[in-house]
Amino acid sequence: MINYLDFKDARCRDCYKCLRECPVKAICVSDRHAKIIEKRCILCGRCTKICPQNAKIVHSERQTAEKLLKTANVVASVAPSFAASFGIKDFTVMKIALGKLGFFDAQETAVGARAVTSEYKRLLEGKKFKNFITSACPAVNYMIQMYYPKALPYLAPVDSPMIAHAKIIKGERDDVKVVFIGPCIAKKKEAAENGIIDCVLTFEDIRAMFNERNIVLEDIARVSIGLRTEGCGNAKYYPISRGIIKSFDECPSGYEYVAVDGNAKCCEVLDNIESLSGMFLELSCCEYSCVNGPCALEIKGGAVKANGNIREYVAMEGLKERVKTGASVVNLERVYRRLHADGSAPSERDLREILEKTGKKTKDDELNCGACGYNTCREKAWAVFNGYAATEMCLPYMRERAESMSYEIIQNSPNGIILLDEEFKITEINNKAVEMLGTDGRFELKGRAVFEFLDPTDFVVAANEGVNIYNKKMYIDKTEKYAELTVVILKSQKLLFGVMKDITDETQSANRLNALKLETLTTTDGVIKKQMRVAQEIASLLGETTAETKLALLKLKRTISEN
């Protein structure tokens, strides 16, 4: 299978925006990176338009096209939305520019659209359809084939304008190749499956080719002699919302004509298709229809301006051809078969086991917040079962888990922990710190100034000098406790993080030892003095023994002092 669409490696981290926007959840998140699930994708391209990292990779057929241009007579079928993307109102300009690239000829896909409208009209006048869904958007067609089989009977059994135009071109000349040029990704897959289109290029491809050959459309427009191209009338309205409806000279009676654009709206219609009757539904996956396709060129004014460009383009042509009923010059009949999307259905037991891994043990635990990208917790569990999603993608659960673990670690820490804001007010404090400060309760301390409970000097110094302080000894008057204080500046959060290690026992033990040493020194000194008096009295008797005793006692005193 050709990989028509994918994401390049980018800063894709727990975003899930593409997954939220995907109407059929054809995106797998693996190793925190989004990947396209080809067997589920309808190639609407919505994910590529909304990705904040612009991470889309659209399979390019430029090499194939350039090879064809060197070896064959190639006719370009150009989608009428070119007038919006390239900002030109004369197809002659595009035709000349494509000729400079080596195209044998260039025609508007609107030629095919005109034939499709004619076929739609013939079918509508037959009154055989309860509802009638247009088949011009291949992404909608794939959506129906894969996910809405109940809507298949209503999908018009007619080729898209691209296929219709290629049939017309090759019906006139069998020695040419046809390259479609447009803003759509789904056209690539449709062309490959049908086989009559030899290659598909996007507007982005063509712009790159123009730039490489220094072909400037504005320059061509200034010298264009206005060659007359085949008029396609209102069929050129196809790329805008209600464009298909506007292509009829007169809409057949018996139907309500409604245009729906955007994935979400299309899904809403298809979800309720069986409750509808007598509806002509012009469906397009892209908001604002084809002028806002995934490979349309961005223009100042966006899709609204693009819509206006198409209307101006049609108006300038001045040809309002009436759509003829009756058989087309080529057979445009097409059968849209049921397609099956990838993915298995888990049992209720499997779903429950997966849900329970994220703390969803009851129905009330299923928040259906959509943060993971799926509409419901059960949809996400289905994705986990199929290997398309990870359990950890449940953000509320992971946050609760992280907060719970952090809370337990902090509250059960043997050290006192305290957080202060820029005004030296307490924002967080754990139980050990409350105990060391000798206050009533943790929650009662929040928002109060730290100087009410201890000497804030070290916190102030750290904040003013912008340096961390480590292992600074402090004394807490109220509880008569000693602590070893470390203050760390959390610059990004604008907080001071204090850790107080309780060293009261060690300090008191050291104080007791020092007192014992002092007492021992005092006693020893008294013994020395007493011994000296006795020694003096018996000096005459002891002689050298007295001197040795003195030296020994002085050595003992020095030893005790040093220890």
Phi-psi domain of 423 (left: phi exceeds 0; alpha: psi -120 through 50; beta: other)? alpha
**Residue 491 pLDDT class (50, 70, 90 cuts):** confident
Which comes out higher in pLDDT, residue 271 or 435?
271
pLDDT for position 322: 41
Percent of the chain with pLDDT over 70: 90
pLDDT for position 323: 42
Give phi and psi for 333, each to the nearest 5.
-70, 140
**Order of all β-strands in the sheet with 279-284:** 131-133, 279-284, 256-261
CA distance 215 to 224: 14
User: Burial level of 445, CB count in 10 A (0-12/13-18/19+)?
Assistant: buried
Give phi and psi for 412, each to the nearest 5.
-100, 10
pLDDT at 428 exceeding the cut of 90: no
Which comes out higher in pLDDT, residue 478 or 188?
188
pLDDT at 118 exceeding the cut of 70: yes
Question: Which amino acid, one-letter code, is at 273?
Answer: I
pLDDT for position 2: 65
User: Burial level of 46, CB count in 10 A (0-12/13-18/19+)?
Assistant: buried
Which of the following CATH numbers is that of domain 414-502: 3.30.450.20, 3.40.50.300, 3.40.50.10190, 1.10.8.50? 3.30.450.20
pLDDT for position 79: 97
Within 344-387, strands assigned E span none
Domain boundaries, the chain: 1-59, 60-317, 344-378+388-412, 414-502, 517-562
Q: pLDDT for 378-400, tens place per residue? A: 999 999 999 999 888 888 887 77
pLDDT at 289 exceeding the cut of 90: yes
Give phi and psi for 290, each to the nearest 5.
-65, -25
> What number of other Cβ atoms are within 10 A of residue 257's Cβ?
17
pLDDT for position 395: 82
Alpha-carbon distances, residue 523 vs 514, 527, 553, 557, 561 (angstroms): 14, 6, 12, 10, 12
**Residue 6 pLDDT class (50, 70, 90 cuts):** confident
* Pairing, β 131-133 against β 279-284: parallel
CATH number of 1-59: 3.30.70.20
Yes or no: say if 436 and 500 are a contact pair by the CB < 8 Å rule.
Answer: yes
Task: Give the chain's largest Cα–Cα span.
Answer: 151
Q: pLDDT for 451-480, tens place per residue? A: 888 889 999 999 999 999 999 999 988 888
Q: pLDDT for 542-561, tens place per residue? A: 555 666 667 766 776 776 66
CA distance 41 to 19: 12
Q: pLDDT for 78-90, tens place per residue? A: 999 999 999 998 8
466: three-class secondary structure by DSSP: coil
- DSSP-assigned letter for residue 425: B
Share the mean pLDDT of the chain: 88
Question: Which amino acid, one-letter code, is at 228?
Answer: R
pLDDT for position 113: 96
Yes or no: say if 181 and 146 are a contact pair by the CB < 8 Å rule.
Answer: no
pLDDT for position 270: 98
